[in-house]
Structure 1
């Protein structure tokens, strides 16, 4: 299986103040390193595209996207696809990357969105997928604005129904938060917490879709979750389901 995994990267710019003086430093981090390693071990051929590389590397045609069986979007907002440099600075018209993903799924490709501060609607509504072409594609409805549910005490999702993707795992480890979503009519809610969906499966056109409302990595993806004995098998089975 060939998978295009997009997002889970960030740049932190810090100001260090020591008395009268201050200086700045910058560091780059990737949050999906462990997950990507697990997917490789599960036999998935992963192409990883960090958030900042979408500007120059995201496919410009449906044919290029169809080199993959499925796409994962994790913690990267809609603006990263919609406001590329030639459009933002030179007013050039370019293919809409999210519309290409929509066409990709309709034609039989798979799509998984993983929760975080910049997926679904995200912090302050900045991810803004509710107002994008993917709102029609995803198996969940999104909130009008910010959708974060912070759970510092930790919550353990429970099975909403029996499904091969989760039946063998038993009790789930705790998560530290999630994006608040609504399961669309006809979609299959697999995991939930107090009425909020955590894992939902669906279809769009000829393709399969999935939404995981929490994170695959810290901080919502707690250390308990990342170190869970079934972590690798869960993600491997989930992305293979999309094929």
Structure 2
């Protein structure tokens, strides 16, 4: 009897394993209920933007859409179990939790729960939150006096800088934005011709400062870059 019982137990285990294997294989060949996943703004700052999470449903279903952190913990519920029709849908996420608080910098993923399909799918598309501003260092400041009158002698001032991440540099004169670099670099120069908004400044002394702006528009604090004196000697003769 003991031998028969052992045999029946083995057969039951084999049958259960075979059934589980069959279910797994059937799930593998079934098309995913989600199609056309599209994530826009995969890297953004909660201070300046939002990500767009979009995908298509093959069939209408009861859908819950969550954002999970690196540990798999849900940090935001975007869609709380609503009935959603088949087709393409998208939702915006502002990088905040359910209480409206900005989440910590890091990587997050959308998790989709489908009631009818009885499926939970973590989308492989990561979304990166970056709210840390870059840091800029002034390496060298050129001449302390310029005469931007077009004679190409002392028309401009050059400031060398370094940033701790790729970012565009900005130059301010007495708090007014005088120049913004187009390229995002780790190190570069700002050449300024004494103009703000395309118009040259009046003769006088101006306090200069620089700042940096990264790819998601986080802006650093302004760093002093000395004083410059602007004069137009030819016009005063």
TM-score (normalizing by structure 1): 0.21
The structure carrying a bigger strand percent of its residues is 2
The structure carrying a bigger helix percent of its residues is 1
Higher relative contact order (CA 8 A, sep 6+): 1
Larger radius of gyration: 2
